[in-house]
């Protein structure tokens, strides 16, 4: 009996707390347009974690993207963004059938997505999902049977991501955001470039890319959002 009442009470408190969280008003005036500059990001591809030339299991990318968000309401937003990633890889002990392998991977990522926001005073937490299109290129130098093999190819990926974030508002028009993202993209095609010589497979990733991003944004908020009337219309 005690345990049943305890869990019912705990569940009721949780429901009331979530209701109060979503009902809290923001300390700032909601704005319609949000322009974001990605101050920097960290990208990690677990399948390539042993090959990052910097010795870590991730790559760093300063000032590498922009994003625009349209706020349909104080709780709902639609966003689009473009980002550049560049990472160097080295496999001196061998890679696939090769004796030595170094590569430079460059990606342009284009995101289109939706986010749901909750406000607590000057803070905002949010989550959502993005569709991703990636246009990338790898330039590599491989070694096989004692000879160097220059290898380069381009590719296109399609996929999606799930993200969550936290924003702190300094005032009505300026905020700072920390965002985490997990993504999956499937390789649509890989095309060796015309100057490549590839007697063996030199693809850095053969199938799909699964990765993690952590980013910091500086956001600019513009144009005050009009109040929406929730009163029922009276027809005469």
In a domain, 87, yes or no: yes
pLDDT given at position 69: 97
Burial of 225 (0-12, 13-18, 19+ CB in 10 A): middle
In a domain, 85, yes or no: yes
Number of domains in the chain: 1
Tens of pLDDT along the chain (236 residues) come to 444 455 445 445 544 444 444 445 567 777 999 999 999 999 999 999 989 998 889 999 999 999 999 999 999 999 999 999 999 999 888 777 777 888 999 999 999 999 999 999 899 999 999 999 999 999 888 777 666 777 788 899 999 999 999 999 999 999 999 999 999 999 888 877 655 555 556 788 878 999 999 999 999 999 988 776 545 555 55
Contact residues for 201 (Cβ-Cβ < 8 A; gap 6+) = 96, 97
pLDDT given at position 100: 83
pLDDT given at position 76: 95
C-alpha span between 118 and 164 (Å, rounded): 12
Dihedral over Cα of 94, 98, 101, 103: its sign:
negative
In a domain, 112, yes or no: yes
Identify any residues that bridge with 101 across adjacent strands, giving them in sequence order. Answer: 91, 142
Rg (CA), the chain: 24
Burial of 114 (0-12, 13-18, 19+ CB in 10 A): middle
CB 125 within 8 A of CB 18: no
In a domain, 91, yes or no: yes
Q: CB neighbours (10 Å) of residue 191? A: 11
Q: Which secondary structure element, helix H or strand E, spans residue 23, and what is its range?
A: helix 2-23
Q: At 130, which CATH number? A: 2.40.160.20
In a domain, 231, yes or no: no
pLDDT given at position 15: 44
pLDDT given at position 62: 95
Q: What does pTM read for this prediction? A: 0.80
In a domain, 232, yes or no: no
Q: CB neighbours (10 Å) of residue 147? A: 10
C-alpha span between 116 and 211 (Å, rounded): 22
In a domain, 147, yes or no: yes
Range of the domain at 75: 2-224
- pLDDT single digits (tens) 130-184: 999 999 999 888 777 666 777 788 899 999 999 999 999 999 999 999 999 999 9
In a domain, 68, yes or no: yes
pLDDT given at position 92: 83
pLDDT given at position 7: 46
């Amino acid at each position: 009996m005690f345990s049943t009442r305890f869990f019912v009470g705990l569940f009721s408190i949780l429901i009331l707390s979530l209701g109060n969280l979503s009902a809290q008003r923001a300390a700032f005036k909601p704005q319609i347009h949000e322009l974001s500059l990605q101050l920097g990001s960290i990208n990690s591809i677990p399948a390539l974690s042993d090959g990052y030339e910097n010795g870590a299991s991730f790559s760093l990318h300063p000032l590498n993207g922009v994003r625009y968000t349209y706020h349909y309401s104080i709780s709902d937003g639609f966003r689009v963004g473009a980002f550049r990633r560049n990472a160097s890889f080295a496999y001196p002990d061998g890679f696939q059938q090769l004796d030595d392998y170094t590569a430079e991977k460059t990606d342009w990522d284009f995101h289109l997505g939706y986010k749901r926001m909750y406000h607590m005073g000057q803070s905002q937490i949010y989550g959502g999902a993005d569709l991703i299109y990636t246009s990338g290129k790898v330039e590599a130098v491989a070694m096989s049977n004692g000879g160097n093999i220059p290898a380069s190819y381009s590719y296109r990926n399609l996929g999606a991501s799930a993200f969550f974030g936290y924003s702190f508002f300094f005032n009505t028009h300026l905020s700072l955001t920390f965002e985490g993202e997990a993504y999956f993209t499937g390789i649509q095609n890989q095309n060796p470039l015309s100057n490549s010589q590839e007697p063996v497979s030199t693809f850095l990733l053969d199938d799909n890319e699964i990765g993690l991003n952590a980013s910091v944004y500086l956001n600019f908020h513009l144009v005050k959002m009009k109040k929406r009337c929730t009163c029922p219309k009276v027809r005469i």
